[in-house]
Structures are given as structure tokens and as C-alpha cells.
Amino acid sequence: MKKLRFFFLCLFVSGLVSAQELPFRMEELTAPDYVRAVEKSSKTCILPLGVFEKHGPHLPLGTDLYTAREYALRAAEKEYTVVFPWYYFSQINEARHQPGTIAYSPELIWKVLQETLDELARKKKKKIIIVNGHGGNSAFLNYFGMAQLSKRRAYSLYWFQPQTDPEVVKKAEELTMHDKLDAHAGNKESSVMKAIVPNRVFLDRAGWQSGADQERLKNLSNVYTGIWWYAKYPNHYGGDGTKANAEAGELLINSTVSQLIKLIQAVKKDEVTPALQKQFYDESENPLKTKQ
């Protein structure tokens, strides 16, 4: 009788354990849970990229970290995938003159990102989605993505690039204001942060510095120079965040998250990208045999 009771107790406890929700935050998974998470996620994961940089006088240094991971976590709650912890090894040389900026060398940010992807692939994450919260990473990520073709990879890399919905922006601006610049720490970004971490947003400080374009390179045209951002926004603040609010931020966040959910679903089903990569790598090893 005691053995029978023990048997049913084990079944009950086992049922409770199996019924527990599997965490999607990677840092919360146990090693056995990770094995289950690989299967449940269809071998996908999200790498949210941010940085430590000034965001005007009113937003926290980790603004891009907060936003990238918030998008990822909200999406993973609806469509299961594993979300990597806060990742801040990003390109931010343009803000090295500002307090709190952590600017790693170009060589290091490249190597850390590549080795992180390689390690995720080694742990059976075969489809990796980058969610980037930092505009200063754009050129870097474009080139990094193309450079993946330089050798055979054990994974497919996808960079989430959400579209701005004019109707959502209009509704958000009706709740706040129209910010004609809104380049960095302006109306939209400040509203998003009010929705995520309201206690770390200090709108009363948003007017302490100018977020106007200083136009210090207007003497030049049809040219690119690396000092362009500093020439425009030396305060590392572009726009006006004084009228931001959380309700507008929620509208903007939800628009982005809904697009990310659809992307996760599409990536899970995607067989074209891995197949094309394999074909490309095979042909690259024997280019003279590539059909002409």
C-alpha cells in the first residue's frame, strides 16, 4: 500500500513539474530545461543587442538594452523562443566623449558577437534572430551579416527590422506631441521607456539640453564622414522627449512586438534560408563547378 501511495505521489509531482511553464529567459533555464527549450523553440533563439550610452539628460544609459530585451521577452511570451541575456558589446564610438559610454574596440565587438553565435549554434540553436535596440549598430550589423558568407556557418542569422506603422505613430503623437527630429532619446524612445521602466525616466530633465540638429557639416554635400553624428548631435540627444508618456509607449511597443511574433513564427518554419546557405557554401568550395 505504501509503495502504491509513493507511486501515485511520484506521478502527481511529475505532473506538476511537467506542467510548469518552461522559462524563455536563457538565464532562468536549468541545464535539463535547456534541452527541452531547444525542442520547444524549434532550435531558435533571440539575441537582443543594446549598448551603454547617453540618451539625453533624462533616459538611462541602458535604454537600448531595456528596449531590445523588452521586445524579445514580450514576443517570446506569445511565441516560444529562448531569449539571450542583455548583450551590450556594441558599436558606440560616436559617444565616447559622453559619461557612462562603454565603447569596446571594433575588433572585440566583432569577435564577441561571432563567438556568441558560434556557441549558440554549438548548443543546437540553429536559427538566431538579432533584435537590435541601438541605431548605431546598423552599419555594423549589415556588414557583419554579409560577412557570414565568408565561411560555412552552422546556423542561419536573421536580423529583425520592424516597419514603422504611420497610424500607430499618429496615435502616439496625439497622446504626446509631434517631434520633427526624434532621432535619439526623443518623443518615441522616451515614451517607450516610460512604458518599460517609468521610474528611470526623468522628463523634467529632458529640457536641460538641446536635442536640435547643430548642422555643423552643412558646408559639405554628397559625402560621408564618421564624425557626422557628433556634428549633428554633440549632446547625444536628438529631438524632444519632454512630452512622452507610457500610453503612447505601449502603442509603439505593441506594434513592434506583433511584428516580431510573426517573424519568430516564420523563422521556425523557414527551410529556404538554411537550404540556400548550404547550396551557397557547397558552391563556394567548388566555384568552377558552379553552373554557368
pLDDT tens sequence across 57-79:
999 999 999 999 999 999 999 99
At 234 the pLDDT is 97
At 62 the pLDDT is 98
Tell me the pLDDT tens digit for each residue of 207-266.
999 999 999 999 999 999 999 999 999 999 999 999 999 999 999 999 999 999 999 999
User: How confident is the prediction for the chain on average, in pLDDT?
Assistant: 94
User: Region 20-49: what's the mean pLDDT?
Assistant: 97
d(CA 187, CA 177): 7
Residue 155 has pLDDT above 90, yes or no: yes
Residue 194 has pLDDT above 70, yes or no: yes
Model confidence at 17, pLDDT cuts 50, 70, 90, reads very low
Residue 1 has pLDDT above 80, yes or no: no
At 252 the pLDDT is 98
d(CA 222, CA 76): 42
Percent of the chain with pLDDT over 90: 93
Residue 16 has pLDDT above 60, yes or no: no
Residue 115 has pLDDT above 50, yes or no: yes
Scored b (16 or more CB within 10 A) or e, 134-161 reads: bebbeebbeebeeeeeeeebebbbbbbe
At 19 the pLDDT is 45
Is the entire prediction scored with pTM above 0.95?
no
At 14 the pLDDT is 45
Alpha helical stretches, state H, the chain? 2-19, 31-40, 63-78, 106-122, 138-147, 166-175, 187-196, 228-232, 246-269, 272-285
At 3 the pLDDT is 54
User: Region 13-29: what's the mean pLDDT?
Assistant: 74
Residue 289 has pLDDT above 70, yes or no: yes
Residue 174 has pLDDT above 70, yes or no: yes
Scored b (16 or more CB within 10 A) or e, 24-51 reads: bebeebeeeeeeebbeebbbbbbbbbbb
| Cβ 65 vs Cβ 102: under 8 Å | no
User: Region 89-93: what's the mean pLDDT?
Assistant: 98
At 10 the pLDDT is 47
At 2 the pLDDT is 52
| Cβ 63 vs Cβ 15: under 8 Å | no
User: Region 28-53: what's the mean pLDDT?
Assistant: 98
Stretch (H or E) spanning 131? strand 127-132
* pLDDT greater at residue 91 or residue 11: 91
At 12 the pLDDT is 47
